[in-house]
Amino acid sequence: MATPARLPRADNRLPQILDEAARLFAERGFPATTIRDIVRGIDMLPGSLYYHFAAKEDLLAAVYAEGVKRISGHVHAAIAKRTDPWQRLTAACVAHLEALLDESAYAQVVIRVRPGDVPEVAGPLTALRDRYESVFVDLIDALPLKPGVDRRALRLMLLGALNWSQTWYRPGRDDPRAIARNFVALLRKPTET
């Protein structure tokens, strides 16, 4: 059918565009990043970007999709080794935070950009994020909890706390793994005397 007449060229700079866009979207946010900012970093002209993307929002969608792919892969690799429900959840949170705070600008874009703020691609973005977060639904379903514990609230609280760490995290001072483990521990054990 729509088989490409020829393979893409080996020297095409699509990966560089995505990398630089991810870096800037993560650092400044989507609206504050201009097309010229992105292409300046990789010695390209503004118009050339439109060979790869029809609009700025489509570039965001591509970065966002790659971000979900990476963070999702990281988390799945981490939980595959474990069998104990609590250890699996902890491993997932650690991997989530690692991707979010250290590893990947792509992952940071997924957390930083609110789909609703970009109406042109809000649908696809929300779908991608929901699909990713479904892992946590399953992980928390598998937890042996006291009857009456609200699992949805548990998930929203945990993921919210993890994601918000993006606003206060400082590389030298804080440790992603320690943060994640600390948060899970606070939910698991009672804090009260």
Partner DNA sequence: GTACAAAACAAACAGTTGTTTGGTAAAGTG
Partner DNA sequence: CACTTTACCAAACAACTGTTTGTTTTGTAC
Residue 8 interacting partner from a second copy, DNA, none (CB closer than 5 to 8 Å by kind)? DNA
Minimal CA–CA distance to 96: which of 183, 29, 191? 183
How far from each other are the two terminal CA atoms of the chain, in whole angstroms?
A: 68
When the beta carbons of 32 and 77 are compared against a second copy, the nearer one is 32
Q: From its phi and psi, is residue 136 left (phi > 0), alpha (psi between -120 and 50) or beta? A: alpha
Residue 173 interacting partner from a second copy, DNA, none (CB closer than 5 to 8 Å by kind)? none
Quick one: tokens of 44? Answer: 């390209």
Residue 77 interacting partner from a second copy, DNA, none (CB closer than 5 to 8 Å by kind)? none
When the beta carbons of 80 and 185 are compared against a second copy, the nearer one is 185
- Unique residue bearing structure tokens 């949805």: 152
Single out the residue of 1, 2, 5, 153 in contact with DNA (rule: CB under 7 A): 5
Quick one: tokens of 33? Answer: 């990043």
CA distances from 91 to 80, 86, 122, 186 (A): 9, 9, 30, 15
Residue 155 interacting partner from a second copy, DNA, none (CB closer than 5 to 8 Å by kind)? none
Q: How far is the CB of 53 from DNA (least distance, A)?
A: 7
Q: How far is the CB of 154 from a second copy (least distance, A)?
A: 6
CB neighbour burial string for 45-71, b if at least 16 within 10 angstroms, e if fewer? eeeebeeebeebbebbbbbbbbbbebb
When the beta carbons of 3 and 193 are compared against a second copy, the nearer one is 193
Residues from 59 through 98 that contact DNA (CB under 7 A): none
* Contact mark string toward DNA, 102..141, x via CB under 7 A: ----------------------------------------
Single out the residue of 47, 116, 119, 190 in contact with DNA (rule: CB under 7 A): 47
Quick one: tokens of 71? Answer: 């963070």
Residues that bind DNA (CB under 7 A): 4-14, 33-37, 43-52, 54-57
